Amino acid sequence: MLSPIRADQVGSLLRPDKLLRARQLAASGELPKEQLRELEDAAILEVLGRQREIGLEIFTDGEFRRASWITDMADAVEGFVPQSRTVEWRTLDGSNQPEASTSRVVGARLRPRQRLTGAETAFLKQHAPGPIKMTLPAPSNFWVVSWKEGVSNAAYASRSEMLQDVARIVRDEIEALIDDGVDYIQMDAPFYGVFIDEQHRATLRHAGIDPDRALEEVVAADDAAVKGLARAGLTLGLHICRGNSRSRWLYEGAYDPIAEALFGQLGVDAFLLEYDSSRDGGFEPLRFLPKGKLAVLGLVTSKEPGLESVGNLRRRVDAAAKVVPLEQLALSPQCGFASVAAGNALSEDDQWRKLSLVVNTAREIWG
């Protein structure tokens, strides 16, 4: 593992308006792909400079070349088909906001046709002023959102069989990223929220699925994507939130139902954990974190512009340090700022103030 990164970031950054407009024009065929790529390059160079200026020690491209955090999979792998379903997003004011999902489901055997992140890594590796992080979706996501009865079972006998193919595809991509010289590889796994939120656990039980047995299966699939990989100088991480799209969320509940299985069985170095609101519960589940592993506390919200205080962040880190040693802790925003291209409801200035706060607070705590 890299030396512990005390001021971490989840990955996605707010896209500049100019880049959002360019992506719309490219999608309609009004802008050549080559020109879009040039605009993406320029925007990435700018945010790399800003990350360096505020003192971050790990660098991302902001996921500027993606439509969302998960779209690389369907773009790069044959077998996904469009099948809309309704997602019950929850807003910060407490209301529900049903919306058709843009994710795809598995409708045929999964076969990679290109790298998931190959077009992103080379430019970032060449231009970043320090170690780089690349993100990709964890296999566990696809167990939750990519199986549809009557569609997926035409290609696979079960979710379990499908999940094995997904884990192999993700593992192959991680191995390629290691060969690329990437320093920090993070799997994003917001759909562990299904196993946290009691309402969703009840839905699984109603469908005849034992949520605890299913949890064991998806943890094993995520572990299969990283197990036994070369680790010298490499950090492998897993990020868990409760949904993040335009400042909305999907799940609530503490980590208790998943902590023992996840922390004890998944062979990553760092767990990046959402902890910015009362929806996330307390720090007690961190007692299952093995020695030598890092819990990155997502105490700074990326969903709204209000800036947290250094004093409150320090108090919360101190509270977590009563459960797990301080040297096993780090700090980050609770999620990315733009898990989907449209981004969360705050400004770029707000974003950089929050990342600066993470850096400065981490320096005060860990030196």
In a domain, 10, yes or no: no
- Residue 52 belongs to some domain of the structure: yes
Type of residue numbered 231: R
Kindly report, residue by residue over 163-205, the tens digit of the pLDDT.
Answer: 999 999 999 999 999 999 999 999 999 999 999 999 999 999 9
DSSP assignment letter at 103: -
CATH number at 125 reads 3.20.20.210
Range with the poorest average pLDDT among 5-9, 146-150, 245-249, 341-345 = 245-249
d(CA 168, CA 226): 10
DSSP conformational letter for 276? S
- CA dist., res. 260 & res. 167, Å (int): 21
pTM as predicted: 0.95
pLDDT at 232: 82
Q: Are 352 and 9 in contact (CB under 8 A)?
A: no
Amino acid in the structure at residue 141: N
In a domain, 337, yes or no: yes
Instruction: Please report the pLDDT score of residue 231 as a whole number.
Output: 76
Structure tokens at 216: 């064991």
Does 7 fall in a domain?
no
Asked if residue 84 has pLDDT above 70, the reply is: no
Q: How does residue 29 score in pLDDT terms, banded at 50, 70 and 90?
A: very high
pLDDT at residue 100 above 80? no
Q: Does residue 165 fall inside a structural domain?
A: yes
Q: What is the pLDDT of residue 344?
A: 92
* pLDDT band, residue 9 (cuts 50/70/90): very high
Mean pLDDT in residue range 328-354: 96
Q: In the prediction, which pLDDT does 171 show? A: 98
Task: Give me the DSSP letters along 170-186.
Answer: HHHHHHHHHHHT-SEEE
Look at residue 5 and tell me if it is in a domain. Answer: no
CB 83 within 8 A of CB 151: yes
pLDDT in tens, 223-245: 999 999 977 889 999 999 998 88
CB-count exposure of residue 33 (10 Å: 0-12, 13-18, 19+): exposed
The Cα 349–Cα 63 span in angstroms is: 18
* pLDDT for residue 363 is more than 90: yes
Decide if 35 is inside a domain: yes
Residue 275: pLDDT over 90? yes
Query: How many domains are contained in the chain?
Result: 1
Domain of residue 155 covers 17-366
- In-domain check, residue 160: yes
CA dihedral 327, 329, 331, 333 (to 10 degrees): 170
- Please report the pLDDT score of residue 250 as a whole number: 84
